[in-house]
Amino acid sequence: MRPATREPQAGPVPLLDAIRLVKRFGTVTAVDGLSLSVAEGEVVGLLGLNGAGKSTTLHMLLGLITPDAGQIRVFGLDLARHRTEVLSQVNFAASYVDLPGVLLVREVLDAFAMLYALRRPKARVAELIELFDLGPLSERRVMDLSSGQRTRVQLAKALLNAPRLLVLDEPTANLDPDAGDRIRGLLSRAAEENGSAMLITSHNMREVERMCHRIHFMAGGRIVASGSAAELAGRYGAEDLEEVFLKVARG
């Protein structure tokens, strides 16, 4: 069955503009002249084989690494010059980023709520504990949680500041199918309610079909195909996004 096209909830206000980004690590060009944009309320997926340059792209957009060339504008501001202002309205979650393991789940969320200088930190933490069903885990140390449970804490942390732009690197990689399904629904709903935009990498094609309005396929640090899941399936004569992925990846 062909995937349905998802329409963004809000108008096409540019929230993120990345223009001709380049990043080299020694002799490896991880990102090679990549341009992409994300509109307000839009959920954009970045797909590609291992090593295609997805995480490097996200890390540049988050200001974690500096591009060798190109420009990044977030909320209309140049990231290089307005880093603090921009990043206070952005958040990020990835399974490879560790939270402080010796702290209790509630303490971790309280600490980030303070860092983000939230106006009602206790109420917001309680809201997210409820939303991500973390009540039974809130008095347990992060280091004692399973990887899927830790992922839920990461995602709760990522939503604390109701970010205008949420960047997720394989957000549900460690979740069982039931938790993954519920979390995808929660993320989509949270994004719609906050009017947040999301930029997501994932190797789960059904997740991308379900969540993303627009998808970019990367190969060798470049975007090689873009469109909604339905447009891409039509263009490649594929039944679903998984088939598109294989066709794009195999040239």
Q: Of 54-62, 82-90, 155-163, 226-234, which segment contacts ligand ATP by CB under 6 A?
A: 54-62
Which of residues 3, 15, 34, 56 is near ligand ATP by CB under 6 A? Answer: 56
Q: How many CA atoms lie within 13 A of 150 on its CB side?
A: 19
What is the CB-side half-sphere exposure of residue 125 using CA atoms within 13 A?
19
48 is a contact residue toward ligand ATP (CB under 6 A): yes
Residue 172 has phi, psi (to 5 degrees) of -115, 20
Q: Residue 144 and residue 91: Cα distance in Å, rounded? A: 24
Q: How far is the CB of 46 from ligand ATP (least distance, A)?
A: 8
Segment lying near ligand ATP (by CB under 6 A), choices 9-17, 45-53, 103-111, 154-162? 45-53
CB contact set of 30 (below 8 Å; sequence gap of 6+): 23, 24, 53, 56, 221
- Residue 33 Cβ, how far from ligand ATP at the closest point, in Å? 14
Question: Taking the complex as a whole, how short is the minimal distance between the CB of residue 26 and ligand ATP, in angstroms?
Answer: 6
Nearest distance from C-beta of residue 169 to ligand ATP, angstroms: 7
Residues 6+ apart with CB under 8 A from 115: none
30 makes contact with ligand ATP (CB under 6 A): yes
Indicate which single residue of 4, 25, 115, 185 sits in contact with ligand ATP (rule: CB under 6 A): 25
Sign for the pseudo-dihedral over CA of 181, 187, 129, 174: positive
Chain residues that interact with ligand ATP, rule: CB under 6 A: 25, 28, 30, 48, 50-56
